[in-house]
Amino acid sequence: MKQNQHSRRTNEIAREKLANILLFEISDPELSLVTLTGVEVSVDKSFLRAYVSCDSSRYDEVSAALGRAKGRIRSLLGHALGWRVTPELAFQIDTTTDDAERISRALEVVPPTLGVEKDEFGYPIAPSSDDEPDEQGTDEQ
């Protein structure tokens, strides 16, 4: 959604209110250890998309719990925000932390070709002539 100063402030207010609701008002044990990573509110404030993060093994469980609690969360959010319209809620699992972890693990494995000296175009530099045998085909003794 398009961002300007007003919409960023609206997103921040909605994020704070929704985080308090998830933390203090909703007592579903399946929603423990769930982090609200971001909120996007439409310009007319009729739609709110919330991004939540959790352990990758709990994606289905958390999605189902948020779906069951969506009505209660929307009601509490409407009272907390005091806007003219209570936004429709859509929860989306934020997988950026899993992606970052996967990339981090991939960067730990260094391919053997990375240690080969290369020229400015990225081609391997041939070994120097000191390593090659002399012209007669025999090494000096």
Predicted pLDDT at 141: 47
- pLDDT of residue 2 exceeding 50, the answer is yes
Query: Helices marked H in the chain — which ranges?
Result: 5-20, 59-81, 96-108
Q: 70-94, pLDDT tens digit by residue?
A: 999 999 999 999 999 999 999 999 9
Mean pLDDT, the chain, rounded, equals 86
In the block, tokens 């999605």 appear at 63
Going along the chain from its start, the domains and CATH numbers come out as 5-95 (3.30.300.20)
- 65 CB-near residues (< 8 Å, 6+ apart): 28, 30, 31
Residue (of 22, 44, 4) closest to 91 by Cα position: 22
